[in-house]
Amino acid sequence: MRWLLVEPPVQSDIQASLGAVGIPSSAYLAPILERNNEEVRIEDAPALDHNLEDVADVIRDYDPDYVGISALTTDIEEAYRVAEAAKKSGQSRKVILGGAHPTLRPKETLEECSSVDIVARGEGEEIIDEISRFEDLSRIKGISYRENGNIIENQDREPIMDLDSLPFPAYHLLPMERYEFDGIRYATMITSRGCPFNCVFCASSRICGKKWRGKSPERVLEQMKALRYDYDVKEIEILDDTFVLDKNRATEICDLMVEEGLDITWSCSSRVDTMDSSLAEKLREAGCHTVYMGIESGVQEVLDRLKKGITIEQARDAVEAVKEADMNVVGSFILGVPGETKKQMEKTIDFAKELDITLAQFTLFTPYPGTESYENAEENDLFLTKDWSDFSTLDPIIKNDEMSAEELKNFMRQAYIRFYLRPSYIWRAVKTGELWSLLKKGISWFI
């Protein structure tokens, strides 16, 4: 069989401003199909600067038996258009839709787009393997599909426990030269899955489960070496929700990188309650230059409402540990949490300034499908829109007691201005020679 795996032609706000794209999720599925002797092609439309017409041309010319499409919430409408294009040039062609949004709304996805035949829920490797081998869809856990005009939802599939058993992404099928940032060959990696925490705004545990699972340090190093030596990648962004959740594993990975003498710089994410000085020193020694932290708010009451499970003091301590290790800190903050007052939002901006982190990302509270916050917003009739393209965290999509939608969006813009146009921030950036780079990265989030 011939398979085409498609990343929809949607350009993120970060890509639009900075020009950076990451390794597509379809690259994790392609080697599973190759192992089954299937013919596979990846159409990474964002990386190739392809529009919908280009994608439709690729589908028509390649003429696959199956088209697999991955979609986030903001991408879903474009994913539907890709599905429709696939059916238009071949009605017998099977269209499979996976990713975060279809996982969380499988029945609705099939109802909203008649061109989708199968929805793959959650982790896709075992699902795509069985779809390629079994004709009887009723045997396959973790899918929803159409049968005789009805929508069938098979039982859930357990998360994949042994991540070392999975092949590396199909880098050989990707335009690797297209993945670069500021002229440096760049790649993303996922070294662990699952999230045991209960943040009301995050659907990660609904997609990959609450049990955290990590690749072994040896397997992580092996993948890094493949990227460095086979594809000349010099910068890696580790996309794990919390790379350092298992501190011993993170330390072992760092030790192996140092032992290998791996000439790679990289970044990762950490909760503030999983970071300390000794771990920060290890990360820096191994070439890590930036740690992303979900700080979210400068008000303990708001953090508790978000069920973040952290304290203000933990945030201060974690930021200080990373800064003392001479690494950058990128902090994310949420504005417009239901029940949050304007005064509390002001305190969050002040807290970001107090922490004096390298970059601050301010976003608007966005209840994604599958989250506790989404259910609460529906129950309390808070949604201003259900246009999925607006779920970007940059547009107000729920009512706020303190401000109108336009006032809230302007408040977010002011947060960026107040953080980045401080004289002390500009002077530090001038001294380090990073003024334009830092301002471009920061302001790109609200342009």
Running DSSP on this structure, what letter comes out for residue 171? G
Distances from the Cα of 116 to the Cα of 70, 126, 169, 321, 387, angstroms: 12, 20, 25, 48, 19
d(CA 32, CA 392): 31
> What integer pLDDT is reported at residue 402 of this predicted model?
87
Q: Say if CB 355 and CB 348 are below 8 A apart.
A: no
The CA distance from 148 to 308, in Å, is: 44
Q: Count the Cβ atoms, other than its own, within 10 Å of residue 350.
A: 13
**pLDDT attached to residue 425:** 82
Q: Tokens for 87?
A: 């059916």
- Hey, what domains does the chain have and what are their CATH numbers? 2-147 (3.40.50.280), 179-446 (3.20.20.70)
8 A C-beta contact, residue 239 and residue 188: yes
In tens digits, what is the pLDDT along the chain, a chain of 447 residues?
999 999 999 865 544 444 457 899 999 999 999 999 999 999 999 999 999 999 999 999 999 999 999 999 999 999 999 999 999 998 899 999 999 999 999 999 999 999 999 999 999 999 999 999 999 999 999 999 999 989 999 999 999 999 999 999 999 999 999 999 888 999 999 999 999 999 999 988 888 989 999 999 999 999 999 999 999 999 999 999 999 999 999 999 999 999 999 999 999 999 999 999 999 999 999 999 999 999 999 999 999 999 999 999 999 999 999 999 999 999 999 999 999 999 999 999 999 999 999 999 999 999 999 999 999 999 999 999 999 999 999 999 999 988 999 999 999 999 999 999 888 888 777 766 665 555 555 555 444
At 12 the pLDDT is 55
45: Cβ contacts below 8 Å, ≥ 6 apart = 6, 7, 8, 9, 10, 51, 54, 55
